[in-house]
Amino acid sequence: MAGRKTHSVGRILAKANWQLQKPDLMISLDQKRIICMMIESVLHETGNYEGYGYIDDKTPALLSPEEYRRRYYIHRRVREDYEKEYSTLRYY
């Protein structure tokens, strides 16, 4: 078995934000919920949680599908890895 592999929080956050900005017809509401639960857990456990903002202009109703159209803010400690990873992701 090869050595332990790690993945940076910044790279994971970039992928999560990239998935969450996709239109609803490309990713299901359940998939978005899971992404939100996972990335919030990773960010809290590593001390990198900075909150999130909604992609749409208006604040969605609680428990509505639009509630998961969000983008997590980037902590300064993970910004460099985030920007490297996000620049490699293709739009949809």
pLDDT score for 25:
83
Listed range (9-18, 43-52, 81-90) with the worst mean pLDDT? 81-90
Q: Domain residues of the chain, as ranges?
A: 9-88
At 91, is the pLDDT very low, low, confident or very high (cuts 50, 70, 90)?
A: low
Provide mean pLDDT across the span 67-75: 95
Structure tokens at 27: 């990713």
The per-residue pLDDT for range 15-68, each reduced to its tens digit, is 999 999 998 889 999 999 999 999 999 999 999 999 999 998 888 888 788 899
The pTM assigned to this predicted structure is 0.87
Round to whole Å and give the CA distance between 54 and 34.
Answer: 17
